[in-house]
Amino acid sequence: MFRQRGALTVITPLLMLLVILLGVMALDGARLFSLRKEMQSQVNAAATAAADAAQACGGRMIALSDMRQRALAAARAQGFEGGDDDLIITPGLLEDVDENGGLIFQAADFIDQTNAVLVSYQRDVKISLLLPEDIFGTVSVNVNAAVRKEAVVTMSAAGSTAVVGGGLLGALLGAILGDSDYTLDPTSLSSLANTTVQLGELLNALGVNDVAGLLPLSGQDLANALSTISGAATPLGRMLDSIVGAAGIETIKVGDILSVVGETEVPPNSEFPIYDVVISLVLNIVQSQQPGEGGLLSLPLNISNLNIPLLADIRTVDLALHVGEPPTVAFGPARRGQDGEWVTRFYAPDITLVLVADARLLNVDLLDVVSLNLASVKVPLAVAVGGGKGELVAADCARGRINDAEVTVDLHRQVARVATGSVNSLGDLEQEDIDARVGTLKLLGVPLLDPAIRLRAGLDVFIPGEEKTVTFDPRYPLYCSRAQGCERRLWEDDGAGLDGLNVDVDVKEVRLLDLDLEFLLTPVTNLLEDLLNGVVSSLLKAIVNPLLQTLGIGLGGMSVTVSGVDQSNIQIVENVTVAN
């Protein structure tokens, strides 16, 4: 009995000490857990704020200092009391690593390659506040959070803003369909120019779940799906049905028309203009139908509808088209890739038009002193518009009370050329001359020479390319109207334009019975140059310009459309895996 009481006397204090120790450890564990949770909330807030200044969301002016300032302000608002250097802020990329949603953070070499920010925070704290530190020591509490913010922009450089005229879109469709009598009614044009389609609608019509399943499908599948969405019985649906039968369409992939950056998640509500898709599809078909490398596709043209000043009798006008680079509709964020190139790129049509007009010129008088007419004039005219390309370089995301996004692009307009000539088998423009024959030449009403005067003349005008940075104004609204749908932001540049183009035909030779008379007929030569300038300008304005407008380009210019911006792809990952 006494032995048991002695044992209890010894054990009881030990048990009480153990209970107290366990209680202290429980309190310390709860304290450390609470501290870790507090630190996690601070880095979450810091990373969320700093991601506003990542390249894919930060707009035109981004800097690491801005990221740091935003992160520290947000963390202090969340209770952070450490020094500025205690938060480690690393810009980079938050990337998918598997199909199950696994993510990894990769630090970026340059801030313009970023779509995310990693914020790390470490504190060394005592394991226990009550127990001796020299016995129990300290523990390092580490937390991090990575936040990805990026605006996915939908944009194109095709014909959605063009004034479609002259029936030349119908001629283009007739060419790829092999139907010279093909016509396009105004209702089809109107519905085509004013209709957009949601990506989700297209996915449903094609029976695929995501963009990855969409891009490998054929152009034929795309045209069928757009016809279904538009309504097969509508004018637009019937036009799309006709495109389905074009030769070569089965070789074209949706990925040739809709350009999606890498693993970018394109929201199903992203909209794009059907007109731009159709123009891209048609020009891809033209490229596939070009007879041999660098060949030309002949476009049917109804010359009875042409009214060209100065030309009294238009015998024939042949029009052909060569496609170097079809346009694209692009989806992606505003940042550079690992190769240093901007990841979201789009293209305007790179085309060459070849026009050969054979006609007779009206009588023309010079101050009632000299009069002449051309019995025949053959004008071989080639217009290489050069197209262009662009990159999405900045997107200033919505934040706070701002519910719209600012979009900035870099544009590179290629060199354009207007010359008398044709296109060779390699697609290069070759110089040729205008060939003309004078019918009558009178001085004060008295005939001077017979119709044996022949002349050669040429034209070669270069329009230099230009690089430009364009910020769309106003900003793009992120919310669509139920009544009017989503908005579009347009930027149009006609380049030199036909009105501003300096057409300067050079008469190279005037011959009579194999004698060079140019030095004797300077006044006549000057008059002929003026006449031929007028003829070339008239052909450009009556035929070339409407077709360029149809395709959404001009001489040295291009038009760009932003038809969607989405910011729903915002992710936060706590204690993310960081790549070495």
Q: Residue 332: enclosing H or E segment and its boundaries?
A: strand 329-332
Identify the three-state secondary structure at position 565: strand
DSSP letter at 399 equals: B
CA 172 – CA 169 distance, rounded (Å): 5
Q: Would you list the domain boundaries of the chain?
A: 152-566
Return the sign of the alpha-carbon dihedral for residues 47, 52, 53, 57.
positive
- pLDDT tens digits along 321-343: 989 889 989 999 999 998 999 99
Query: In degrees, to the nearest 5, what angle opens at C-alpha 145 toward C-alphas 141 and 147?
Result: 170
CA 152 – CA 265 distance, rounded (Å): 8
Q: Beta-strand (E) ranges in 340-369?
A: 345-348, 350-361, 364-366
CA 95 – CA 116 distance, rounded (Å): 9
Identify the three-state secondary structure at position 131: coil
CA 365 – CA 525 distance, rounded (Å): 13
Structural tokens at position 256: 């040739």
Long-range (24+ apart) CB contacts under 8 A made by 101-106 are 103/146, 103/571, 103/573, 103/576, 103/577, 104/576, 104/577, 104/578, 104/579, 105/146, 105/573, 105/576, 105/577, 105/578, 105/579, 106/579
pLDDT of residue 516: 65
Residue 150 C-alpha from the chain's centroid: 17
Cβ(300)–Cβ(537) below 8 Å: no
Return the sign of the alpha-carbon dihedral for residues 210, 216, 221, 223.
positive
pLDDT of residue 514: 66
pLDDT of residue 137: 72
Residues of the chain with pLDDT under 50: 1-2
CA 538 – CA 545 distance, rounded (Å): 10
pLDDT of residue 129: 67
Of 503, 505, 491, 501, nearest to 556 by C-alpha is 501
Of 457, 397, 476, 494, nearest to 161 by C-alpha is 494
Return the sign of the alpha-carbon dihedral for residues 251, 257, 259, 263.
negative
Cβ(223)–Cβ(280) below 8 Å: no
pLDDT of residue 227: 92
Alpha-carbon dihedral angle through residues 348, 350, 356, 361, given to the nearest 10 degrees: 40
Residue 292: Cβ-neighbour burial (10 angstroms; 0-12, 13-18, 19+): exposed
pLDDT of residue 485: 73
- pLDDT tens digits along 343-352: 999 998 888 9
Cβ(256)–Cβ(282) below 8 Å: no
How far is CA 102 from each of CA 61, 75, 151, 209, 515, rounded to the nearest angstrom? Answer: 31, 26, 21, 19, 83
pLDDT of residue 41: 95
Alpha-carbon dihedral angle through residues 225, 228, 233, 237, given to the nearest 10 degrees: -30
Q: In sequence order, what are the residues at sequence separation of 6 or more whose Cβ sits closer than 8 angstroms to the Cβ of residue 158?
A: 273, 275, 276, 279, 280, 327, 329, 348, 349, 551, 552, 559, 561
Cβ(159)–Cβ(279) below 8 Å: yes
Counting residues of the chain whose pLDDT is more than 90, the rounded percentage is 35
